[in-house]
Amino acid sequence: MDPSIVNTRSHTSVLRWLVRLGALLALAVALATLGLLAAGYLGGVDIMQPLGGLWFAVDAGSLNAMQVVIERHIWPPLWSRAVFPVLNTSAPLVALFSSLAAIVLLWLGWRRHS
């Protein structure tokens, strides 16, 4: 067998695994955002504000703890380049787009190929 031939099945399974991981991450963000929206609504907080402001109003301690964990123990640029911009986006928009991303990625990651 020619070693220059790439095993496309192996690459497809890795890609499918990455898509599934992205889908689960998007689903986690969507569910967490929906939970914050519900808690904010029930607590009388303005739910149309950015996600970070809503999270701070609902539970400031967990927001601060999340920042510390990401910056000190995971990777500091993850907070400044990925999480912080999402926290500055309107909470309903984050819920909408992360839900849509989860649905599309779940469909792509688990559909059967014929």
Q: How far apart are CA 49 and CA 91, in angstroms?
A: 6
What is the pLDDT, as a whole number, of residue 9? 66
pLDDT given at position 59: 97
User: In 3D, which of 14, 7, 26 has the Cα closest to residue 106?
Assistant: 26
Query: Which stretches of the chain score pLDDT less than 70?
Result: 1-9, 112-114
The pLDDT assigned to 4 comes to 53
Q: What is the pLDDT of residues 20-50, one digit of tens each?
A: 999 999 999 999 999 999 999 999 999 999 9
Q: Which of 59, 85, 48, 112 has its CA nearest to residue 77?
A: 85
Q: Would you state the pLDDT for residue 5?
A: 54
Regarding pTM above 0.75, the answer is: yes
In eight-state DSSP terms, residue 13 is: H
Three-state DSSP class for residue 75:
coil
User: Would you state the pLDDT for residue 13?
Assistant: 85
Give me 94's structure tokens.
């984050």
Length of the chain: 114
The residues, any chain, with a CB within 8 Å of residue 14's CB and separated by 6 or more, are: none
Break the chain into its structural domains and give their ranges. Answer: 10-110
